Amino acid sequence: MKLFTRYNRINLTLMVLLFVLSGISYYFIINYVLIHELDEALEDYQLRIENYVVKQGTLPPVALMDETIVTYSKLNRLTTPIRRMETLRRLDTLENEWHNYRQKTYSQDVGGASFCVTLAKPIEGTKLLTRTVVAITILMLLVIIIASIVLNQVILRKLWQPFYTSLAAMKTFKLGKKQVPEFPLTNIEEFVFMNTLLEDTVTGAEADYQILKEFTENASHEIQTPLAIIRSKLDLVIQEEGLSEKQTLALSSIYSGIKRLTKLNQSLLLLAKIENHQFAGRENVDVEEKVNEKLDQFQEFWQNSKVQFTATIKPSAIHTNPELFDILLSNLISNAGRHNMENGFIFVNLDKNTFVIENTGSLSSLDSQKLYTRFYKESQHSQHNGLGLSIVKQICDQLDIEIKYSFVNNLHRFTLKWD
Amino acid sequence: MKLLIIEDEKDLSDSICLYLGSEQFSCETAYDYHSALDKILINEYACIILDLTLPHGSGLDILTQLKLLNKTEGVLIISAKNSLDDRIKGLNSGADDYLTKPFHLSELGARVAAIVRRKSFEGKTHIVVGPLILDLSERILRSGDEQITLTRKEYELLLYLLSNKNKVVTKEAIVEHLWGDDIDMADSYDFIYSHIKNLRKKLMASGCPDYIKAVYGMGYKFSLNNSIS
C-alpha cells in the first residue's frame, strides 16, 4: 500500500466520522432550538389565555384557523395542578396523518372551576431539517473527498517526487560498478537528510568493496610467488635419484595440493578481474569453431573415463569478449565431463543463439539457489574448489548472456542464450 | 652458452639455476634492476629469464633497454600476472615468450630451449638424439633415411621430453603442456600413459634404445646418459 493511499484512508475515515458526528450534532442542536422556540410560543399562548381569563373570567374561544390546537377539559377540584411539556404523536384530523406535536398541558382555574388546558403545536420542519443536514453533510463529504484526491494526486505527488527519484536512483546502483547514483537536489530537510545518508552509505560501501577486491587481487598475486618457489623446489627434489616409494607418494600429494592451491588462486584472481571489468574488449567470435575446438580438446579425456558425447553443432556467432567466452565454454564443458559418471553421456547442442550442454551425473538436481555461490560443492570432500560455476555466472552477467540450469530426465542441463 | 636469470626471489632464482644449469648452459643471476642492466651491458646471453616486478625498476624497462642497445637476446618473461593484456604488453615490448607463475620447471626448460633454438645463429632446426633426428621445421622424426610418423601429440611429447632431457618430468606438467592449462583434470593423468607407450614403441621399432624411463609415481625421464653407457 502506498503511503498516500494509507494516509488518504485514515484521513477520509476521520473526515467521514467527523462529518457524520457534526451532522448528528447539528441536527440535535437545531432541533433543540426549534423546540425551544415552540415552547416559547406555547408559553406565550398560555400567557395570553391567562390574561384573557383574568380579564374576561372565561376561557377564550378556540380558534379553529389557528395552527395551535387548543382543547379544554374540566378537572376535579381535588386533582393537583398539572404542568407538563411533552413531545408526542397526534393524528392530524385535517390531513389524516400522524404528526409530531409539541404539547403543553396545564391546569387553569376559571372562576372556581378547574380546567385542563392542552396547547399543541405541530413540530414542522424537522423532516426538512434532517434532510437538509444529511444532504449538506454528504455534499461536504463529497467535496472533501474529491478535494483530497486532487490534492494528493497533484500536491503530494509533487512533494514526494524527490523521494521517488532517489529510490529510482538507488535501484540502478550496483556494488562494484564504481558509480554512485545521482540523487535529486531538493530543499526539503528530510529528503536532503535521506539523500546525504544514502550517498554516504553507498560511497562507503563502494570504497569498502574496492578495498576488498584489491585485497583479493593483491593476496592472490602475493600467493603466486611462494607457490612458484614451492613448485620449483619440488621439481628439483624429484630429480634426485633413489627416492623411496613413501617419499614419492608424499611428493605427489604435495604436487596435487599445490595444483589445487594454484587453481583456487587463479580462480579468485579471475573473479576479481571480472568484477573489476578488466575484460572490456569485444570481438566477433565464431562459436561453432570455438565449441568444436573445445570438444576436440576434451574428447580424449572423456574417452578415457568412458563418457560418450553427442554434439549437434550449427553455425553461430556472438559479439563478445573472446577471453571470457573461452573460459565460459571451457568451464561448462569440463564440468560436464568431471561431474559425470562411468559410461555416462554428454549432449551438446549449439544453435544460432543458444548453447545447451547436458550431462549424466548425480541423480538429483543441484541446489539452484546455491549453484552459483562461491565454494558451493555438491560434496565436501570434492577435489574441486567450487568456483567454476561462480565464474561461469560472473562471466554470463558480464557478457549479457542468459544462463539457466535445469534437471530433466536425470540430465543436468545448462543453457546459454544470447542476442 | 649463458643464461641470465633476473628474478628478485632468490629461492626461485636458485631453483631455476639448478634446473637449467647443465653442460650446455651456465646460469648467471641478477636480483634487481640495476645489477640486471649491468650484466646485460657486459655480456651476451643465449636467453634472459625476466621477472617483471623487480626492486628499483620494471622488467619492461629492461626490455626497452635491450632494444635501445640493439641486443637480440631471447627473453622469456616469468610473471605472476596472467591476463592476456599483460602477456600482450610483455610480448609487444620485445619478449619472446611469457610464462605465468607458478610454473613447472620442465615447462620453463622447454620454453627456454625453444627460444635458444630460434635465436641461435644457424637457425637450428634439428635435434639429434642418438641415431634419431627430430626435424623441427617439418615436424618429423627421422632415423637415417627412414621416416617415423608421429601424431601431433607424440611429436610435442617427444620435443618436450627432449627439451628436458635427463630430467624427471611430471605427468601433470606434460598434461598442462600438451593439453593446456584450462583442462583441469585433477583426477587422473593415466591417459598420457598410452601416448608414452606408443611413442616408446615407435622409437624402439626404429632401432633406438629405450630412452623414455618411467619414474614411479612421478612421471617420465628422457634419459640419454643411461642408454649411452
pLDDT of B188 reads 64
Report yes or no: B166 and B221 within 8 Å, Cβ to Cβ.
yes
Mean pLDDT score, A357-361: 92
Question: What DSSP string describes A94-133?
Answer: TTTEEEEEEEEEEEEEETTEEEEEEEEEE--SHHHHHHHH
Q: What is the mean pLDDT of chain A?
A: 85
| Residue B229: band (very low, low, confident or very high) from pLDDT cuts 50, 70, 90 | very low
Residue A234, pLDDT above cutoff 60: yes
Report yes or no: B46 and B74 within 8 Å, Cβ to Cβ.
yes
How near does any CA of chain B get to the CA of A185, in Å?
42
Q: For residue A333, give the nearest of A353, A314, A316, A349 by alpha carbon.
A: A349
pLDDT of A315 reads 93
| Residue A287: band (very low, low, confident or very high) from pLDDT cuts 50, 70, 90 | very high
- Confirm whether A190-275 and A283-417 share one CATH topology: no
Residue A289, pLDDT above cutoff 90: yes
Distance CA(B167)–CA(B164), nearest Å, equals 6
Mean pLDDT score, A240-247: 87
Q: C-alpha cell of B150?
A: 608421429
Non-local (6+) Cβ contacts of A219 within 8 A are none
Residue B153, pLDDT above cutoff 50: yes
Residue B124, pLDDT above cutoff 80: no
pLDDT of A235 reads 92
Who has greater pLDDT, B112 or A95? B112
Non-local (6+) Cβ contacts of B48 within 8 A are B3, B4, B5, B6, B40, B66, B73, B74, B75, B76
Residue A382, pLDDT above cutoff 80: no
Whether B104 and chain A come into contact, CB under 8 Å, resolves to yes
Which numeric CATH code is attached to B2-119?
3.40.50.2300
Q: Do B186 and A383 touch (CB under 8 A)?
A: yes
Most A CBs within 10 Å: which of B89, B181, B184, B216, as the mutation test of the A interface? B184
How near does any CA of chain A get to the CA of B189, in Å?
9
Q: Which of B82, B183, B215 faces A301 most closely, judged by CB atoms?
A: B183
Question: What DSSP string describes A224-253?
Answer: HHHHHHHHHHHHHHTTSS---HHHHHHHHH
Mean pLDDT score, A141-147: 85
Q: Do A338 and B217 touch (CB under 8 A)?
A: no
Burial of A137 (0-12, 13-18, 19+ CB in 10 A): buried
Q: Do B168 and A227 touch (CB under 8 A)?
A: no
Q: Which residue is associated with the grid cell 574428447? A: A299
CA distances from A391 to A158, A271, A281, A372, B160 (A): 45, 6, 18, 8, 32
Q: How far apart are the first and last CA of chain B?
A: 25
Whether B205 and chain A come into contact, CB under 8 Å, resolves to no
Mean pLDDT score, A387-396: 91
CA distances from A42 to A34, A67, A118, A119, A285 (A): 12, 11, 10, 7, 107
Name residue B147's beta-bridge partners.
Answer: B142
Most B CBs within 10 Å: which of A224, A225, A235, A269, as the mutation test of the B interface? A235
**pLDDT (tens digit per residue) in A72-114:** 888 776 667 778 888 888 777 777 778 788 888 888 888 778 8
Mean pLDDT score, B112-127: 80
Name residue A177's beta-bridge partners.
Answer: none
pLDDT of A381 reads 59
Q: Going edge to edge, which strands form the sheet with B26-30?
A: B26-30, B2-6, B47-51, B74-79, B97-100
Distance from CA of residue A324 to its chain's centroid?
A: 37
Whether B23 and chain A come into contact, CB under 8 Å, resolves to no
- Residue B5 sits at φ, ψ, to 5 deg, of -110, 110
pLDDT of B227 reads 43
Residue A13, pLDDT above cutoff 60: yes
User: Residue A283: helix, strand or coil by DSSP?
Assistant: strand
Residue A281, pLDDT above cutoff 80: yes
**pLDDT (tens digit per residue) in A174-215:** 777 777 788 888 888 989 999 999 999 999 988 888 888 788
Tallying the residues shown for chain A, one arrives at 419
| Residue B225: band (very low, low, confident or very high) from pLDDT cuts 50, 70, 90 | low
Distance CA(B209)–CA(B24), nearest Å, equals 23
Q: Which residue is associated with the grid cell 619414474? A: B215
Which numeric CATH code is attached to A283-417?
3.30.565.10
Mean pLDDT score, A262-269: 87
Report yes or no: B45 and B2 within 8 Å, Cβ to Cβ.
yes
pLDDT of B87 reads 86
Locate the domains of chain B by residue range: 2-119, 126-228
Non-local (6+) Cβ contacts of A248 within 8 A are B216, B217, B218
Q: Give the number of beta-carbon pairs within 8 Å between A and B.
A: 109
Name chain B contacts of A266, Cβ cutoff 8 Å. 82
| Residue B228: band (very low, low, confident or very high) from pLDDT cuts 50, 70, 90 | very low
**pLDDT (tens digit per residue) in B50-98:** 998 899 988 899 999 999 988 888 999 998 887 777 888 889 988 999 9
Q: For residue B152, give the nearest of A126, A153, A297, A410 by alpha carbon.
A: A297
Q: Do B103 and A255 touch (CB under 8 A)?
A: no
- Residue B73 sits at φ, ψ, to 5 deg, of -60, 145
pLDDT of A229 reads 93
Q: Which of B81, B102, B187 faces A228 most closely, judged by CB atoms?
A: B102
Name chain B contacts of A229, Cβ cutoff 8 Å. 9, 11-12, 15
- Each residue of B40-60: b (16+ CB within 10 Å) or e? beeeebbbbbbbbbbeeeebb
ipTM of the modeled complex: 0.87
Distance CA(A160)–CA(A153), nearest Å, equals 11
Predicted TM-score (pTM) above 0.90: no
Hey, what CATH topology would domain B126-228 get? Arc Repressor Mutant, subunit A (1.10.10)
Name chain B contacts of A248, Cβ cutoff 8 Å. 216-218
Q: What is the mean pLDDT of chain B?
A: 86
Distance CA(B20)–CA(A195), nearest Å, equals 63
What percent of chain B shows pLDDT beyond 90?
37
Name chain A contacts of B84, Cβ cutoff 8 Å. 323
| Residue A49: band (very low, low, confident or very high) from pLDDT cuts 50, 70, 90 | confident
Locate the domains of chain A by residue range: 3-128, 190-275, 283-417
pLDDT of A79 reads 67
pLDDT of B107 reads 94
Whether B15 and chain A come into contact, CB under 8 Å, resolves to yes
Hey, what CATH topology would domain A190-275 get? Helix Hairpins (1.10.287)
Backbone CA torsion sign across A26, A30, A36, A39: negative
pLDDT of B185 reads 57
Whether B193 and chain A come into contact, CB under 8 Å, resolves to no
| Residue B182: band (very low, low, confident or very high) from pLDDT cuts 50, 70, 90 | low
Name chain B contacts of A252, Cβ cutoff 8 Å. 217-218
Name chain B contacts of A251, Cβ cutoff 8 Å. 217-218
